[in-house]
Amino acid sequence: MKRKRNAYRTVLALFLAVLLVLQTLPLNPAAAYAQGAPEGSGITTIGEGSESGVPGLEVTEFEVTTPGAIGVQPMALPMLMAAVPADKTAVFMAANLSFPLEVKQGDPLVRIEPNGTIQGRQQFTLKSEGLKVPVNGDDPNPTTANPESYIQKGDWIELKSEDHFKEVVLPTATKPLNAVTETGTKRLGTVYFTPGSIKVVFDGDDSFFNGVGKGVTFSFEISADADVTGMSYGDTKPISIFGTAYQLKNSDVTPAYSITLSSPGQVNWDQYSYRGIQAAQFVEGAITWQSTVSAFDQFDNTIKLSLDGKTFFTNPTKYNTKFGANSGNVQGVYVEGSFKVNNTAVTPTIGEDGSLSYTFPEGTGEDPKVEYKTWIPKAGYYYEHRDLPSNGNLGRSYRVMFGRVELKEGSTKLVEAGQEISFAPDWIQASASYDHPNQEITWTINVNQKYNKKGLKDFTITNALPTGLEFESATWQTWEDGTASGVEPITPDLNGVYSFGNINGRVQLVIKTKVKTGSSFRIDPRANWDLNTPDGIQNNDVKSGIRPAAVTDEAEVTIGAHAFTKSGSVLQADFNLGSVTWTVNLTPQYALPDAVVYDVLIHGGDLNVLDNAVDATGEVSTSTIAKIKANVNASQLWKKYHVGSLKGVTNASGLSLKAIPLTVDGEVVADLIKVTGYNTDKPTSFSFRALETNPAFLFKQDINADKARWNRALLFDGEVVKQAQNSTNLHIRMLNKDMLYASKPLKADGTPENVTPNNIGSYISNDSNEAWTISAYDRITKTVTFRLGINMPGYNTDELAKNGGNRVVSDIRLVDTLPEDWEFVPFEDGQTYKLYRGYSDNGSGTGYGVINTAQTLIEPGTNAHVVEFSHSGNVGTFSFSKLESPYVILVKARPSNAALEQYLDEYTTNGTIKQMLYNKTDLHMTWGGEEKVVTEQRKVIVPIQALGKSVTKPAPGVLEWTVNYTPPFNMEKGVYLQDTLGAGMNLRKDESRLVLTIPSMAVYHAKLTPSGALEREGAALNLSAPNCEVQV
The four Cα atoms 990, 993, 995, 997 give a dihedral, to 10 degrees, of -110
Q: For 914-934, how does the pLDDT look when each residue is reduced to its tens digit (9 = 90+)?
A: 999 999 999 999 999 999 999
The mean pLDDT value for 567-587 works out to 98
pLDDT band at residue 908 under the 50/70/90 scheme: confident
> What average pLDDT does the segment 419-441 reach?
95
255-423 CATH pick, 3.40.50.150, 2.60.40.3080, 3.30.470.10, 2.60.40.1170: 2.60.40.1170
Phi, psi of 698 (to 5 degrees): -70, -20
* Cα–Cα distance for residue pair 952/62, rounded to 1 Å: 9
| pLDDT at residue number 323 | 85
More confident call, 138 vs 691? 691
Q: How confident is the model at residue 78 (pLDDT cuts 50, 70, 90)?
A: very low
User: 50 pLDDT exceeds 60?
Assistant: no
| 3 state SS of 846 | helix
For the ranges 753-757, 835-839, 981-985, the lowest mean pLDDT is seen at 981-985
Per the confidence metrics, is the pTM higher than 0.85? no
Judge whether residue 704 has pLDDT over 60: yes
858-880 tens-digit pLDDT? 999 999 999 999 999 999 999 99
Rg of the chain's alpha carbons, rounded to an integer? 45
pLDDT at 203 over 80: yes
DSSP letters spanning 949-1018: EEEEEEETTEEEEEEEE--SS---TT-EEEEEPPTTEEE-EETTEE--STTTEEEEEEEE-TTS-EEEES
pLDDT of residue 215: 86
| CA atoms of 246 and 102, how far apart (whole Å) | 11
Lowest-pLDDT range, 467-471, 684-688, 976-980? 976-980
Alpha helices in 855-973 (DSSP H): 897-910
Q: Where residue 60 falls among pLDDT bands split at 50, 70, 90?
A: very low
Question: Mean of the per-residue pLDDT values for the chain?
Answer: 88
**3-class SS letters over 494-534:** CCCEEEEEEECCEEEEEEEEEECCCCEEEECCEEEEECCCH
Q: Comparing 1014 with 740, which gets the higher pLDDT?
A: 740
What average pLDDT does range 75-86 have in this prediction? 56
**pLDDT tens, position by position, 126-149:** 999 999 999 998 898 887 889 999
Handedness of CA 515, 516, 522, 528 (dihedral sign): negative
Q: Is 645 helix (H, G, I), strand (E, B) or coil?
A: coil
**Which one has a higher pLDDT value, 580 or 205?**
580
CA distance 550 to 540: 8
Return the minimum-mean-pLDDT range out of 29-38, 717-726, 981-990.
Answer: 29-38
Cβ-contact 498, 488 below 8 angstroms: no
Lowest mean pLDDT: which of 51-60, 426-435, 524-533?
51-60
CB atoms within 10 A of CB 106: 12
Residues 767-803 have pLDDT tens digits of: 999 999 999 999 999 999 999 999 999 999 999 999 9
Provide the 3-class DSSP secondary structure of residue 47.
Answer: coil
Of the candidates 580, 579, 568, 598, the one whose C-alpha atom is nearest the C-alpha of residue 723 is: 598
Is the fold of 89-249 the same as that of 735-943? yes
Range with lowest mean pLDDT among 44-48, 325-329, 351-355, 985-989: 44-48
pLDDT at 545: 96
| Of the listed ranges 21-30, 51-60, 811-820, 927-936, the one predicted with least confidence | 51-60
Out of 2.40.30, 2.60.40, 1.20.120, 3.40.50, the CATH code matching 89-249 is 2.60.40
pLDDT of residue 69: 29
The whole-number pLDDT of residue 1020 equals 83
Question: In the chain, pLDDT over 70 holds for what percent of residues?
Answer: 86
Which residue, among 693, 692, 682, has the nearest Cα to 652 in the 3D structure? 682
- CATH number of 563-729, picked from 2.30.30, 1.10.287, 2.40.128, 2.60.40: 2.60.40
Confidence of residue 270 (pLDDT cuts 50, 70, 90): low
Count other C-beta atoms under 10 Å from residue 758's C-beta.
Answer: 13
Residues 6+ apart with CB under 8 A from 224: 123, 124, 125, 126, 165, 168, 169, 170, 171
What's the Cα-to-Cα distance from 993 to each of 435, 958, 997, rounded to whole Å?
Answer: 114, 22, 12
Confidence of residue 979 (pLDDT cuts 50, 70, 90): confident
Tell me the domain boundaries of the chain. Answer: 9-66+957-1017, 89-249, 255-423, 428-558, 563-729, 735-943
Indicate the pLDDT class of residue 962, thresholds 50, 70 and 90: low
Chain-centre distance for alpha carbon 845: 16
Task: Give the model's pLDDT for residue 523.
Answer: 98
Q: Based on the number of CB atoms within 10 Å of its own CB, is 458 exposed (0-12), middle (13-18) or buried (19 or more)?
A: middle
| pLDDT tops 90 at residue 999 | no
Examine the pLDDT at 19 and tell me if it is beyond 50: no
420-429 pLDDT per residue, tens:
999 999 999 9
Looking at CATH, the fold of the domain delimited by 428-558 is given as Immunoglobulin-like (2.60.40)
**Average pLDDT for residues 998-1006, to the nearest whole number?**
73
Q: What does the DSSP assignment read for 609-626? A: GGGS-EETTSSS-HHHHH
Q: What percent of the chain has pLDDT over 90?
A: 75
| CATH architecture of the domain with residue range 735-943 | Sandwich (2.60)
3-state helix, strand, coil in the chain (%, to 5): 10, 45, 45
Band (38; pLDDT cuts 50, 70, 90): very low
Please determine, for residue 74, whether its predicted confidence score (pLDDT) is greater than 70. no
**For the residues 897-902, what does the mean pLDDT come to?**
93
Q: Note the pLDDT of residue 966.
A: 67
Residue 4's pLDDT is 31
